Chain A
Amino acid sequence: MSAAAGIEDLLRELAPRVLGTLVRRHGQFDACEDAVQEALLAAALQWAKEGIPDTPRAWLMTVASRRLVDEWRTESARRRREATDAALELPTQAQPTPAGQDDTLTLLFLCCHPSLSLPSQLALTLRAVGGLTTAEIANAFLVPEATMAQRISRAKQSIKSSGLRFNFPPEPERADRLRVVLHVLYLVFNEGYTTSSGPRLQRADLTTEAIRLARILYQLMPDQGEVAGLLALMLLTDARRAARMTATGSLVPLADQQRELWSSAQIAEGVALITRTLGKVPIGPYQLQAAIAAVHDEAPSGDATDWPQILALYEVLERVSPGPVVTLNRAVALAMVNGPRAGLALLGTLDTDERMAHTHRLEAVRAHLLERAGDAVAARAAYQRAARMTASAPEQRYLALRAARLA
């Protein structure tokens, strides 16, 4: 690893801890966040030239605090006039760090606060907890930097205006809040995993970042089954990344993937994690999806996949977290176990489901099952319908090719 990459990794690991400490001490998330970003920039420049200081965290704390004080000094006149504002922020100042708790966790919960919009939660998490620059986040989401800057500044503004406190969510709301945090990390992962356009490398970085953040969360909350489940799901899904696209960007379905391209290290880690977790804590949808991914990943070939096991897991998933997408996936497993007609019959139950009216997935699965059942004409029509409905370029190409093959 190059020295610059080493510094960057260290800075990104320290960023949320420094920011968390500052916010706990002073409140004012937005001002602290600006100060930490400036300190990170100063560190990146200075450390590259002069080497990493003995106590890098203290160095960052000092520089960020100094920036914060500078900021306050220039604004002090105005702030004196706004004495009420300052009074409102006082209660956060005296809060001690709860024993054994990392500020990173509190910061993550703040960035994923339900009062923020989803795009704001994603952007803020990547910047404040992930330590990514605005330009990097803008690149990853394929929007102009000015747009992302505005989104982040708006998110910070709404934290300020809604008076959100920097404290760990109390017990009654913690489970719901954790669900939002997990969902945000899951979406960061998906945003990177479903690469379709733009600079591919940067998008892949987003999955790496999601895994890194999930790993931090798992270290901080090792007893939460769904945290372990999400991390395992990410590892087991990302393990197949190299095999799921051809060099020209065409999609390769799971059954046709070259399994030697899968990352055996990630599979081993994911399987170990989900094996440790299952059965010891209340079951949840991320754990079940990770277990399903593990069964796929452990199969030596597509044909050797343990479909009865996958079907059983989908049945549990449907009870724990019912929804049309789960039913759709169960139909695929059912078709593998009991034949395509059984799968098609189950798919029929989704035809009147409003939630499936605007997704191509139902038609795509139906097309596959019709093809396997030997009905080429109906399969081709279903592939064509699916191709028209998808908003994913690689998927559209894939579905159009399947349809053309049956002509």
Chain B
Amino acid sequence: MKYMIMMFGSQATMMENQTKEWIVEMIDFMHTLNDDLTKSGELVGAEGLADGSQAKTVSLKNGIPVATDGPYAESKESLIGYWMVDVDGEARAIEIASRVVAFIGPAGAPPVEVRQVMAAPPEV
């Protein structure tokens, strides 16, 4: 079963609040986690996203799609990265998410979200 594990936050907040040592450690942690998931054959994909302040919002203005900055530019809790994993079940996905939270949680990061990817479960 595939799950998407989503991490929220903002680069700006991290830069303001965290030490250089923590950031280096965080990068190491992410590398190690990805290596582990690659070795276990569970990693389908993982990406980090550019900071939410760089996001464009596309919406309909007078019937025409228009791109504007924000309105999430200031959001401290926009999506900043995700892992897609293919695992035995929800318990394992939560276990992986827990490892992320155990690391970034103490630094004040928002909760991590675990969502199943739409597919067909075995017919019963």
Which A residues lie at the B interface, using CB under 8 A?
117-120, 123, 141-144, 146-154, 187, 190-191, 193-197, 325, 359, 361, 390-396
Point out the residues of chain A lying under 8 angstroms from B71, CB to CB: none
A-B residue pair count with CB separations less than 8 angstroms: 72
Question: Given known contacts A392-B120, A392-B121, A393-B120, what 15 new A-B pairs fall within 8 Å (CB)?
Answer: A119-B87, A143-B44, A144-B44, A147-B86, A148-B41, A150-B40, A154-B39, A154-B40, A187-B122, A194-B121, A196-B120, A325-B124, A361-B124, A392-B118, A394-B120
Point out the residues of chain B lying under 8 angstroms from A144, CB to CB: 44-45
Q: What residue in chain B is nearest A358 (Cβ atoms)?
A: B90
User: Would you mind naming 18 contact pairs between A and B with Cβ atoms under 8 Å apart?
Assistant: A119-B86, A119-B87, A123-B41, A143-B86, A147-B42, A147-B43, A150-B39, A150-B40, A151-B41, A151-B42, A196-B119, A325-B124, A390-B121, A391-B118, A391-B119, A393-B118, A393-B119, A396-B118
**Given A119-B88, A143-B86, A150-B38, A391-B117 contact (CB < 8 Å):** yes
The answer to whether B123 touches A193, judged by C-beta atoms less than 8 angstroms apart, is: yes
Closest 9 CB pairs of A and B: A151-B41, A194-B120, A196-B120, A190-B122, A150-B41, A392-B120, A393-B118, A325-B124, A391-B116
- Considering the chains assembled together, what is the distance between the CA atoms of A150 and B39 in angstroms? 6
- Considering the chains assembled together, what is the distance between the CA atoms of A123 and B40 in angstroms? 13
Point out the residues of chain B lying under 8 angstroms from A391, CB to CB: 1, 116-119, 121
- Considering the chains assembled together, what is the distance between the CA atoms of A149 and B40 in angstroms? 10
- Considering the chains assembled together, what is the distance between the CA atoms of A147 and B124 in angstroms? 28
The answer to whether A395 touches B38, judged by C-beta atoms less than 8 angstroms apart, is: no
Scoring B residues 96 to 124 as 1 if CB is less than 8 Å from chain A, else 0, what string do you get? Answer: 00000000000000000000111111111
Point out the residues of chain A lying under 8 angstroms from B122, CB to CB: 187, 190-191, 194
The answer to whether B44 touches A147, judged by C-beta atoms less than 8 angstroms apart, is: yes
- Considering the chains assembled together, what is the distance between the CA atoms of A152 and B41 in angstroms? 8
Interface of chain B: mostly helix, strand, loop or mixed: loop
Which B residues lie at the A interface, using CB under 8 A?
1-2, 38-45, 86-88, 116-124
- Considering the chains assembled together, what is the distance between the CA atoms of A190 and B43 in angstroms? 22
- Considering the chains assembled together, what is the distance between the CA atoms of A359 and B87 in angstroms? 18
Point out the residues of chain B lying under 8 angstroms from A187, CB to CB: 122
The answer to whether B118 touches A196, judged by C-beta atoms less than 8 angstroms apart, is: yes
Chain A nearest CB, measured from B117 CB (Å): 7
- Considering the chains assembled together, what is the distance between the CA atoms of A263 and B1 in angstroms? 30
Q: What residue in chain A is nearest B119 (Cβ atoms)?
A: A196
Point out the residues of chain B lying under 8 angstroms from A120, CB to CB: 41
- Considering the chains assembled together, what is the distance between the CA atoms of A197 and B119 in angstroms? 7
Q: What residue in chain A is nearest B41 (Cβ atoms)?
A: A151
Point out the residues of chain B lying under 8 angstroms from A361, CB to CB: 124
Point out the residues of chain A lying under 8 angstroms from B116, CB to CB: 391
- Considering the chains assembled together, what is the distance between the CA atoms of A190 and B121 in angstroms? 8
Chain B nearest CB, measured from A242 CB (Å): 16
Point out the residues of chain B lying under 8 angstroms from A123, CB to CB: 41
Point out the residues of chain A lying under 8 angstroms from B123, CB to CB: 190, 193-194
